[in-house]
Chains A and B, each alone.
Chain A
Amino acid sequence: MRKIRVLIGKPGLDGHDRGAKVVAAALRDAGMEVIYTGLHQTCEAIVEAAIQEDVDVIGLSILSGAHMTIFPRVLKLLKERKANIPVIGGGIIPQDDVKKLEKMGVKKIFGPGTPTNEIVEWIKNNVGGKNSPGQSTKSKKSRKQK
């Protein structure tokens, strides 16, 4: 069975990574492989890491208020690299912005107080390998192999 791989990133300047770590640990405990990039990452570095690690979903934690800059930038870079990886987010993000971000193409924003199992379930139900970049070629390949 394919393991779900998730990248958890902290883009930009805010140094509060407790939330990101809590989420990373919860996803690990749910059996996923979590790549944690550490603090102060550029959008470029996060997108590059997500591509090289072939993750099924990117989770960004932003508490600095820069979400309206960072999310669009990550989405744009992914598009430029032709990488079809869904992006989700969490942090201090006002409801109005949540709507705007989801319209822009961010798949889901999890606000403060979200139980971690809600995030786990969402990932299992919505990405679980289906949208993974490697997936489409994979089914073809394994058939040929038999």
Chain B
Amino acid sequence: MDLIKNLLKGDKLSIARVISQVEDDTGYDILDRIYPYTGNAYHIGITGPPGAGKSTLVNAIAKKLLRESYKIGIIAVDPTSPFSGGALLGDRIRMGDLSLQKNVFIRSMATRGSLGGLSKKTKDVALVLDAAGMDYILIETVGVGQVELDIAQVCDTKIVVLVPESGDSIQAMKAGLLEIADIVVVNKGDREGSDSLLIELKFAFDLKPKTGWRVPILKTIATDDSGIDELVKEIGNHKEYLEKSDEIKKLQKMRILNQIHEYIETEIKRHLRETVIDDKELDRYIEKIMERKVSPYKIARKIMENMLKGG
């Protein structure tokens, strides 16, 4: 089919259309067919609180990688409103100089109800970019707090971006965001407090148990590219470490396992909603539950038993 053929050649119109189909849940047979062509791209995740400079940093990293003549795919995720279902996707504003480059493809995605900092479809969209021949895929999360860690499931190198206003070493020692970091960046490094944050972060990371990879803590000013060369060098070091230590195989296995689990969960939920659960019957159950005659758990088990019987 032409669409897939053109996608594999890197045609931007085809890439864009396939991504839409994947996002709208109608692209699974395309994913089946392009899957053999994937597995070549290296995934870099950029996460951090809102306003830390993630988009600007992505722009700077991409420009640097472009100069080394790589093909770059960028996925920028912004939140969907839980109230209207709409979204304002504004990450492209910071990537103005990139969008016309031949070797760059940028796609904005809305979270569409996911709470982990990415959209559920982000990894599928990454597969599409992978098949289209991208060497590096940069994935930017929504502005996150402490526990939105989806990126750990999707990316090879995870970069956590902080700014001097991000807090002290106790924040850094809490569970969550910093635990997933392979590289920590203190952006807006020209602001007051950046050096002390850098020292506190180094201290906090020294307390962590040693692994084969020592998390570098870097200072950048993304708006004028300062510190970007070093950051890209560290990304390269981490990539080399993953490949040499076989950690990358572990990551890939985990990712595939998650993909299978997630797909099954989604399909079971859809199946439950569309074929097993009878809304009227459910209403009757809810009445009974509200009268405290039966617990919601018992009803849930009963619905599941029905589903399993039906196959």
Contact = CB atoms under 8 A, between A and B. Distances in A.
Interface of B is mostly: mixed
B92 A38 contact: yes
B194 to A, nearest CB: 27
Given A34-B88, A134-B20, A48 B100 contact: yes
B99 interface: yes
A141 B16 contact: no
A34 B13 contact: no
Contact of B105 (A5, A44, A52, A133): A52
B93 A38 contact: yes
Interface string A35-73: 111100110110011011110000000000000000000
Chain A residues touching B, range = 35 or more
Interface in A13-37: 24-25, 27-37
The SS class assigned to the A binding surface is: mixed
Give the contact-size bracket for chain B: 35 or more
A45 B99 contact: yes
Interface in B25-71: 26-30
A88 to B, nearest CB: 18
A58 to B, nearest CB: 14
A29 B84 contact: yes
A138 B26 contact: yes
B86 A28 contact: yes
Interface of B: 3, 12-13, 15-17, 19-21, 24, 26-30, 80-81, 84-90, 92-93, 96, 99-100, 105-108, 110, 112
Given A31-B84, A52-B16, A138-B24, 18 more contacts: A30-B86, A33-B108, A34-B89, A35-B89, A36-B89, A36-B90, A37-B92, A45-B99, A48-B99, A49-B106, A51-B16, A52-B12, A52-B107, A54-B16, A133-B17, A141-B29, A144-B29, A145-B26
